[in-house]
Amino acid sequence: MRRDRSEIRADIARDWEVSEELCEVVELLTSEMVTNALVHGRGYRVEVYDNNRDVPVVPASFDGEESGRGMALVGRLARSWGYRDTRLGKAVVFELLAWP
């Protein structure tokens, strides 16, 4: 079942206990940065932080469910990926090369 951005934004706002307005700003700024990277960049590096210290694992197989698919997609599509410990958890990073 597909959901639209407004439903996902509302769920994030509720789950993270932040306003939908803040979620809209995050979405807008992320979109702008990605657009600039696509127009002007040769490669992309994305780094995401969380408060979980568990080592990320790319599953050997993926059953197609929406939940838990993130690292399967990263492992399959990224040029490279990794993680590092942070003071509060970890940072997961992946890199892509621009397509011609």
Do 55 and 99 fall into the same domain?
yes
Q: How many domains does the chain have?
A: 2
Let me know how long the chain is. 100
Is the domain of 94 the same as that of 49?
yes
CA distances from 90 to 42, 77, 98 (A): 26, 21, 26
* CA 43/CA 80 separation, integer angstroms: 12
Calpha distance 82→33 (Å, rounded): 22
**Are 25 and 62 part of one and the same domain?**
no
Rg (CA), the chain: 15
- Tell me the pLDDT of the chain (100 aa) as tens digits: 456 777 777 888 888 888 888 888 888 888 888 888 878 888 888 899 999 999 998 887 767 666 668 888 899 999 999 999 999 999 999 998 876 5
